[in-house]
A and B are shown apart, each in its own frame.
Chain A
Amino acid sequence: MNGLGETLLDEVDETLRVRFVVNGRKVACEVAPRDTLVDCLRDKLELTGTHAGCEMGACGACLVQLDGQAVHSCLVFAVQADGARIDTIEGLSESGVIADLQAEFHRRNALQCGFCTPGMLVNAQELLSQLAQPNRDEIRDALSGNYCRCTGYEAIVDAIDAVAKERSKSRNAGGGAS
């Protein structure tokens, strides 16, 4: 018979215990070495707001913050993220850090099916943390790892543009946004 030998099967079966701080809470879970972070978040931790659209780093639907930086959770094995701080759309929503982006996306209807949206928001937040006043081309450029099949992108660009301006304004006025 072709296929996997016993030893290989045993290795596949093996699980490891990993710990993360997910959305501000300590969690531990058992993962197989081959489990990706996106599968771990979605299946084990039931954080289904993070989506998988390609599982190869092309579409951006799976973006999460790993130690504060936007990362494709389909390209990271769960074991590689051991010990990391992970923030998903659920945590970012609850903490309110992207509330302005969410409100602007809603107001301008910068989403249809919503499948790309969590990844878009994570990337938008990343962009605005690096570039306070991006122009439209810079926004389009920064989003080019996030596919959206529904919207045509323009409303998304408009929404991010509006939030960037709003955040700069409140920063200049000594407001608290960071």
Chain B
Amino acid sequence: MSAPLTSLDRPNSYIGRSVPRPNAKRLLAGRGRYISDLKLPRMLHAAFLRSPHAHAKIASIKADAARAYEGVHLVATGADLAKICTPWTGTLDHFKGMNSAPQWPLPLDRVVWAGQAVVAVVAESRAIAEDALELIDVDYEDLPVVVDIDGAREAGGALVNPGSANNICFRSQLDNGAVDDAFAHAAHVVEEEFSFGRHTAVTLEPRAIVADYDPAAGMLTVHHGTQTPYQFQDLYSRHYNIPEARVRVIATDIGGSFGMKLHVYHEDMAVVGLSILLGRPVKYVADRMESFVSDIHARDHRVRARMALDAKGEILAMDVEDLTAIGAFSTYPRTSVVEGNQVIRLIGAPYRFKNYRATLEVIFQHKVQTSQYRAVGHPIACAVTERLVDMAASKVGLDPFAIRAQNVIPDDAYPQTSPTGYRFEALSHQACLKRLHEIMDYDALRAEQVDLRKRGSYRGIGIATFVEITNPSPAFYGVGGARISSQDGAILSLTPSGEVRCLISVTEQGQGTEAIISQIVADQLGLAQEHVKVVTGDTEVTPHGGATWACRGAGIGGETALQATRALKRNILEIAALILQQQPSALDIVDGEVVDAATRKPRLPIAEIARIAYFRSDTLPPGTQAQLTVSHHFAPQGYPFAFTNGIQGCALEVDVETGLIKLLKHFIVEDCGRVINPMLVEEQLRGGIVQGLGAALFEECRYGDTGQLMNGSLADYLVPMPMEMPDIVIAHVETPTADTVLGAKGVGEAGTAAASACVLNAVNDALMPFDATINSIPITPAKVLKALKRF
């Protein structure tokens, strides 16, 4: 399905063009300005003493020697910070019945995971602060530890929070009826239990923050490596009781975020409090070991699922149970139940069946919190669905492409509501399937597979369709009471020299936000892109908005920029019309020149309009007030989410002697609506896929029986390296959303959503001759050998 041609499709449009990112040159020259680089006058450094126990009572803290240590300015405990900071609770109203214990920057009397920060030291340098940590004596009394899902659910077992009835954070159920009936009458049923390990974001720059409280001005400035500065402005204001207008959060360059840096971290809240207590700037940068034990983790799900089909391979029903363990608290302010919620709602999403039932149980345990990280829930939902579809295909005797072609919601059948209640405006599964078949050269791959098998090499081919949630409306967080905006704002000015400055609430983490916003502004105003300056990431400068999460930058931020630019253009043309004694509708702007709309004949540079308006307003007709700055907000309306879709494919080889998996090639066909900058979209897809491949094969936070993280360093936790990663072939289908003029949807999570499902299917395909199956991610060599009964 392709959209009607609009002004966005002009031949020389910036929309749809692969222009490089203007701000990338700074980063290439080593001139990035990351928070970890920041130095302020009189700045002090914080370090944290961390709990060695997964669960223990804090009997006493002796810190006199640390306080007396030369260069130390402050030693603070939970009690010290609790005097100035109100606690927070990671629950939202629309998750009915969920609970979580209140949290403070540092614990008051009990530690609940190994690695939790317990005492803060602020000193002249990080090294001195760390030396002083060694002088602190904390007396712990061990308490029973809850580590795994089964232990947490044992009746009468240890409790994560003594005093609570059980270890359940949240339960949810979906049931649209007749599921048992459908299974009873099914010709085929496939069933499997899947497990998904914990992994974590591993941004190359760890978390970093510099809090700077000025008691004379009553003003808090926080330089914060985050994707969501406005959310933190609100939180710092409310929890430290400082008027919002006196809290400024600045997010400059950031070394990766992927959702990890938008949660409240105890250390970050503590650093703000430490700066308030000292009246001086305080800096904290997590080192890599600290990142592993304090950044949110993600996944950690166990899903039992079954699928009913008729004799021809038509999917009839699904029945799902998801158990997930989230650590000792639900994360604030977005909670730790969103992933589970999305798992049970996204399962089966590409397909046309009617009867669906799912239960979700979210469980506490003594580990660091899990929460939203790139593709929240999608990889799990996708792996469960797509593996069952493959199992069904082999049972019915259909090719993986054929069973999907038979069951996906047809492209001409939209709008549709999924069996789990999601409303789809328009998706393109059939077109994507067809395109993937072509770009994979599927038949040739299969022929090669057969050939190689005869010679003892085991190739696997896997495909996985997916649906991705993007452009979230207030239905996502707002309705639950979270002060997390789903709208964005922009302020656009024509400068006196005829350039445009755009202050906008969406933020940049390297995905190219500033580039696409400047493309949209340049395109809509009629100006060269280099004459557009985009400013992001400073709550004092840019209007309040949601910023960047859940794939909303292009779709919502882009539409905000588009509408703001159209408003500015109207204002410019009004002044031009007065000067040229024309109707505004008879004029247009091309390449920075006002032109006759009909003939494209240049009339007046916009720089001249700016000059007259700013410096010679006396020459304009009396009563004219030129408005060359506009502010504009845009909140998504219409569908609660703009769903995108796509399909991935991969080819790999399993070494049945060693269990090692070699990825040979990866493919994706993706439909993110209107593509603003193909190069940047492809970068998002590739980066997302590689994170998904990491999860599929390598990444796992491994814990011992006592709740200790066993592989918390970059030498032990495996992230994908260049030589393990395949080249990735990309194709697009474009189905713009009709909810906006721009028609763009999100793309940042699509790669991660289906990559691991694809690999899971391919590995199982490779193992087919051995009658061995894999149902657990990451797929390590040990698991492969175990499946082959060779280990």
Contact = CB atoms under 8 A, between A and B. Distances in A.
A33 to B, nearest CB: 11
B127 to A, nearest CB: 7
Contacts of A105: 24, 28
A152 B725 contact: yes
B719 interface: yes
A156 B723 CA distance: 12
Contacts of A139: 722
A102 B29 contact: yes
A135 interface: no
A54 B27 contact: no
Interface stretch (B201-209, B358-366, B445-453, B648-656): B201-209
Contacts of B201: 149
Given A147-B719, A149-B202, A152-B687, A54 B288 contact: yes
Nearest to B686: A152
A151 B27 contact: no
Given A58-B714, A105-B28, A111-B510, A149 B256 contact: yes
Interface stretch (B31-39, B178-186, B190-198, B594-602): B31-39
Contact of B253 (A43, A114, A144): A114
A93 interface: yes
Nearest to B254: A113
Interface residues of A, number: 63
B287 interface: yes
Contacts of B510: 111-114, 150
B683 interface: yes
Interface in B80-101: none
A57 B202 CA distance: 16
Contacts of B37: 42, 48
B288 A49 contact: no
B205 A151 contact: no
B586 to A, nearest CB: 40
A56 interface: yes
Would you call the interface of chain A mostly helix, strand, loop, or mixed? Answer: loop
A51 B255 contact: yes
Contacts, number: 190
A55 B288 contact: yes
A88 B31 CA distance: 12
B127 A34 contact: yes
Given A93-B29, A106-B24, A147-B204, A137 B723 contact: yes
B723 A140 contact: yes
Contact of A116 (B204, B254, B511, B512): B204
B687 A150 contact: yes
Interface in A130-147: 136-137, 139-141, 143-144, 146-147
A112 B511 contact: yes
Contacts of B29: 49, 89-90, 93, 102
Interface in A1-60: 1-4, 9, 12, 32, 34, 42-43, 46-59
A117 B20 contact: no
Interface stretch (B129-137, B242-250, B491-499): B129-137
19 contacts: A1-B65, A2-B137, A9-B131, A49-B31, A54-B713, A54-B714, A54-B715, A56-B288, A59-B714, A89-B30, A102-B28, A109-B20, A112-B510, A113-B203, A113-B205, A137-B723, A143-B721, A147-B714, A149-B691
Interface of A: 1-4, 9, 12, 32, 34, 42-43, 46-59, 61, 88-90, 93, 102, 105-109, 111-118, 121, 136-137, 139-141, 143-144, 146-157
Given A51-B255, A102-B29, A139-B722, 16 more contacts: A32-B127, A43-B39, A58-B713, A90-B31, A114-B26, A114-B28, A114-B32, A116-B204, A141-B722, A149-B202, A149-B204, A149-B256, A150-B204, A150-B256, A151-B687, A156-B722
